Amino acid sequence: MSHMFLKSAQGAAVANGADAGAVVAEMLARIEREGEAAVIDYAARLDGWTGPIVVPEAQIVAAEAELDEGLKADIRYAHENIRDFALAQRLSAQDMEIELRPGLFAGQRHIPLATAGCYVPGGRYAHIASALMTITTARTAGVRQVIACTPARGAGGPAPAVLYAMKVAGADRILCLGGVQGVAALAHGFFGCAPADILVGPGNQFVAEAKRQMFGPVGIDMFAGPTDSMILADETADALTVAWDLVGQAEHGQNSPVCLVTTHKPLAREVLRLMPRCIAELPESNGAAARAAWDALGEVVLCDGAEAMAAFADRAGPEHLHVQARDLEWWKQRLTSYGSLFLGQNTTVAFGDKAAGPNHVLPTSGAARYTGGLSVHKFLKTVTWQRVEDEALPALAQATANISRHEGMEGHARTADIRLARLSPAPMVAGH
């Protein structure tokens, strides 16, 4: 036995009854035809918002005045961590030049995008951290213009704490828009904004589908599904801590899988016993979301060793991978497939979700097997250049022409020939 399920998922993630693809396609087509008028109509009909789309500066100032000083200090603390980590990432992306052969030079440059569109979701929660994660990272990468949008939360517009976070993070303009109409407005450059070169940020299935359908003319961070989390634990783990870490991630909602993978059967049994009790301590709406996720998608897996646990995690490619086991350095070096890795009992996923520094916009649904999460690198174009001097020309032109002719591309070959001929012109004939 390499692994055995003590609790298996009872079903797949629950899909919205509407055909998201068709709904989004129809909305995007109308917005393409009618422009800002369609966006304003959708905002009124879907979000109940009839106020100004561009959030006035006075409202942002008023939001800041409304907040508790402690919350503002915590938002600034999180922003500083996110900014400093992003800055370290930016400094790791270096321009470079190499002389591959005498006279053959090549290099790369990292060029920030001109405009980023950052989507900050609404829904049940006020997503303060999402505002910080997207806007701060774009700004730190050197993006010239950062536009953000977030839906209204009632008659007053966006949540004051989200507006303050957007201001601290460095948004140039904030739009009171959500859903498909929000990301479409960012992409098209409506309401006095420049069209976005890239759309980033989490959202519901309609936001994700809108980003997917618009990808090509505009870049996106990733096609994200419901958040997911996995814990790898041995006998040193504390069952109550593990249970609360699972509950904390299940709180995202009924579509959010959580999984415990362990080598210690008594730990697994105790976590299974504790889960309903922990969920019962949550506020009613949070508890309902966590209970639905745990009942339908929660899993507990028993493995026969650390290597089996690591192999199971690598196959799954979880968004959040939390190790609560001995020898953390071994795990850090061994594990290869995750959105973000959380090492040790002290390092809860919630720290990464809110304030630790590394980005929380991460690949979901197993996409961590082939990609990482949002970072400054998403806002940089890594472009290359090359320059050829006379010294390198003969060998390079000969190889290019030969390969081109073998491929059947005579025009390519001639572009190499003409440069070689110019370097070594035919000798002059006597009398001419």
Into which CATH architecture does domain 24-221 fall? Answer: 3-Layer(aba) Sandwich (3.40)
Longest Cα–Cα distance of the chain, Å, equals: 104
Tokens of 235: 């006998």
Model pLDDT for residues 72-103, shown as the tens digit of each residue: 999 999 999 999 999 999 999 999 999 999 99
The pLDDT assigned to 1 comes to 57
Q: Can you list the pairs that 413-422 forms with residues at least 24 positions away whose Cβ atoms lie under 8 Å?
A: 419/393, 420/393, 420/394
Burial (CB count within 10 angstroms: exposed 0-12, middle 13-18, buried 19+), residue 349 = buried
Q: And the tokens for 287?
A: 């508890």
d(CA 43, CA 58): 21
Q: Which residues contact 322 (CB under 8 A, 6 or more apart)?
A: 229, 230, 231, 232, 245, 341, 342, 347, 348, 349
Other beta carbons within 10 angstroms of residue 124's beta carbon come to 12
**pLDDT, mean over the chain:** 94
Catalytic residue among 127, 264, 320, 322: 320
| Integer Rg of the chain from CA | 26
What is the pLDDT confidence band of residue 7, given thresholds at 50, 70 and 90?
confident
Q: For the chain, which residues make up each domain, given as ranges?
A: 24-221, 226-372, 394-423
What per-residue string of b and e applies to 72-95 under the rule 16 or more CB within 10 Å gives b? eeebeebbebbbebbeebbeeeee
24-82 pLDDT, tens digit each: 999 999 999 999 999 999 999 999 999 999 999 999 999 999 999 999 999 999 999 99
Per CATH, domain 226-372 is 1.10.10.10: no
Show Cβ contacts of residue 201 under 8 Å, excluding neighbours closer than 6 positions: 118, 119, 120, 121, 130, 134, 221, 361
pLDDT tens for 207-251 read 999 999 999 999 999 988 899 999 999 999 999 999 999 999 999
The Cα–Cα gap between 9 and 141 comes to 40
Query: Which amino acid, one-letter code, is at 46?
Result: L
Question: pTM higher than 0.85, yes or no?
Answer: yes
Per-residue pLDDT band for 253 (boundaries 50, 70, 90) equals confident
Active site residue 319: yes
Angle between helices 57-66 and 160-169 (to 10 degrees): 110
Token pair 């400093």 is at which residue?
A: 84
- Ramachandran assignment for 2, one of left (phi > 0), alpha (psi -120 to 50 degrees), beta (any other): alpha
**pLDDT of 9 over the 80 cut:** yes
Question: Is 3 noted as a catalytic residue in this protein?
Answer: no
DSSP-assigned beta bridge partners for residue 215: 218
Out of 252, 264, 319, 322, which one is annotated catalytic? 319
